[in-house]
Amino acid sequence: MGGVPDIPQGALSRSAKLAGLPLSAAGRATKGLGQRILGKDRDEVSADLQRRTAEQVFQVLGTLKGGAMKFGQALSVFEAAMPEEAAEPYREALTKLQNSAPAMDGATVRRLMAEQLGTGWPKYFKDFDDEARAAASIGQVHHGIWRDGREVAVKLQYPGAAAALKADMNQLFRLGRLMSPLVPGMQFKPLLAEMRDRVMEEVDYAAEADNQRAFAKAYDNDPNIAVPKVVASAPALIVSEWVAGAGLASIIANGTTEQRDESGRLLTELHFSAPVRVGLLHSDPHPGNYLLRPDGRLGVIDFGSIARMPDGSPPLLGRMSRLALEGRADELLAGLRDEGFVPDNYDPDPTVLMNYLVPYVEPLRHPTFHFTRTWMQAQAARLSDFRSVEVKMARHLNLPPSYLMIHRVTFGSIGVLCQLDATAPFRQIVERWQAGFND
C-alpha cells in the first residue's frame, strides 16, 4: 500500500503477527523459569517478563491498527484495574495506543482526498495540512481551514481498513488467554465477540457522520458537553469543526485536581445523559476521545462506535441499583432472574448475590465518590478470588447479550474515572438521568 509500508494488510502477515504473540509469551515464560532455576529473584524475573510481554503485545497491536489496535484501545481503559505491581510496565504502552499509530505520507493523503472530494478538493479549504495531527486505529486526522474560515478536523480513513478489521477480528480470539491475566475477573471472550459484532460499523464513515450530527444537535449550546458539527462527509472522510483542549490522557498524566474532578464529572454526565438525550450511547470511552476545552466543556470526538438506545438506558439497571443500595435482596434476585441474569435452574442465596453486586453500586452510596486506581484494583482482585462464595456464585450467572455493550462501556468509563483519580457527584447524575433509579 503506497505511503504506509509499515502497516501489513495481507491476512497471512497480520495473522502471523497476532498468532505469534502467545508463542512469544510462552517462550519468555520458559526463559524466566530457567532464570529462576539459575538463582535470579522471582519478582525481578516476573517484572522483566511483564515488561517484555507488554512491549511486544502493544507494539504489534499498534502497528497492525484496525481491529487489533481497537482491542488495545479498549484494553487501555482497564489499566486502572491492574494490580499496581503489574500495571507499571503496561501503563505507558497502553497509553500510546490511545491516539497514535504510523501516519500516511503527504502524497497518499492528497490522493485519498481527491478520491473522496474530487480532484478540485483544495477549493474547499483556505488551508490544509497534509501532515497528520493524530493517527488512530482506522484513520488519521488533519488540520485545515474551511473555505468559510472555520478551523476543521479532517478524518481520513486508511486504505484497506475494512479488510484489516475483518482479518484482525477473526484472529483476536487467539489473544484471550494472553490478555486475561492483565485484568483479573474480566472475561475477554465475550468482550471480543461483542467488539467483533460492533467494530465493523466503524469503517462506515457515513453512519459515523450521522451519529455525530445527532449528538451535535442534542448537545447544541450545552453548558457541559461540546460536540463538533459535521461540515462535510464522504464514504471514507469526515470534516468537522476543530476541537481544541487538553486531552484526557494529558490530564491523567499531569492534570490538576480541579481538572481531574471536572473531567470526571463531565464524562459521567455524557455517559448517563446521552441515551436519554440522543437515544445513543457513546461506546468508545478511552481518553483519546475526550478533551477538556478552554471554556470548561468536555469536547467529544469519534462517533464510530455507538450503541442504539431509542428508549434510553434500560430501567432495570436503575431499579436493581436502588434495590442493592437498600438491601432488598429477594426483590433484587427476582428482578435479575426476570431479565435473564439468573438462570431458571439456579437458586443463589439472595444475600450472597447482593453482596457480590454491592461494589458496583458503591459510588452511589455517597454524594460524591473518589474514583481511584486502588479502589478499582480492589474490585478486580475481588472478582478474581475464586475461593469466595460470591465469585463461585457469580460463575453461574448470565450476562444477556443486550447488556454486554452497556456493561463494557460502563466498566470502561469507570476505568477512565479511576485513571483520572476524579471525585465526582456520581449519584446526583445517576438520579437525574438513569431510568428506574427513582422508581
Same domain for 234 and 182, yes or no, is no
Clarify whether residues 316 and 191 are in a common domain. Answer: no
Q: Are residues 133 and 207 in the same domain?
A: yes
Quick check: 181 pLDDT over 80? no
Residues 257 and 139 in one domain: no
Q: 1 in a domain, yes or no?
A: no
Whether 184 and 215 map to the same domain: the answer is: no
User: What is the chain's mean pLDDT, rounded?
Assistant: 79
Higher pLDDT, 81 or 431: 431
Q: Residue 391 above 60 pLDDT?
A: yes
Query: Of the candidates 241, 268, 301, which is a domain's last residue?
Result: 241
What pLDDT shows up at residue 98? 46
Q: How many beta carbons lie within 10 A of that of residue 415, not counting itself?
A: 25
Judge whether 336 lies within some domain. yes
Task: Based on the fold, state whether residues 145 and 131 are members of the same structural domain.
Answer: yes
Residue 211 has φ and ψ, to the nearest 5°, of -60, -45
Measured between alpha carbons, how far is 341 from 333 in angstroms, rounded to an integer? 9
Residue 298: which domain range? Answer: 244-439
Confidence check: pLDDT of 254 > 90? yes
- Does 253 lie in the same domain as 130? no
pLDDT of 18 strictly over 90: no
| Cell numbers that stand for 41 in this block | 529473584
Q: Which of 185, 216, 241 is the last residue of a domain?
A: 241
The CATH number covering residue 119 comes to 3.30.200.20
The pLDDT > 70 percentage for the chain reads: 68
Whether the per-residue pLDDT at 246 is higher than 90: the answer is yes
| Residue 4 counted as domain residue | no
Indicate if 87 and 120 belong to the same structural domain: no
Residue 90 lies in a domain: yes
Name the amino acid, one letter, at 128.
F
Lowest mean pLDDT among 140-144, 186-190, 250-254, 350-354: 186-190
Give residue 426's pLDDT: 96
Asked, for residue 3, whether it belongs to a domain, the answer is no
Per-residue pLDDT at 57? 57
- Contact by Cβ (8 Å): 17, 64: yes
pLDDT reading at 53 higher than 60: no
d(CA 403, CA 401): 5
> What's residue 276's pLDDT?
97
Q: Are residues 190 and 218 in the same domain?
A: no
> pLDDT tier at 370 (50, 70, 90 boundaries)?
very high
Q: Does some domain include residue 5?
A: no
Number of domains present in the structure of the chain: 3
Amino acid 222: pLDDT: 97
User: What are the grid coordinates assigned to 95, written together?
Assistant: 497509553
264 in a structural domain: yes
Both 226 and 330 in one domain: the answer is no
Say yes or no: 394 and 439 in one domain: yes
2 within domain boundaries: no
Residue type, 163: A
Q: Residue 265 burial (CB < 10 Å; 0-12/13-18/19+)?
A: buried
Quick one: 191 and 212 in the same domain?
Answer: no
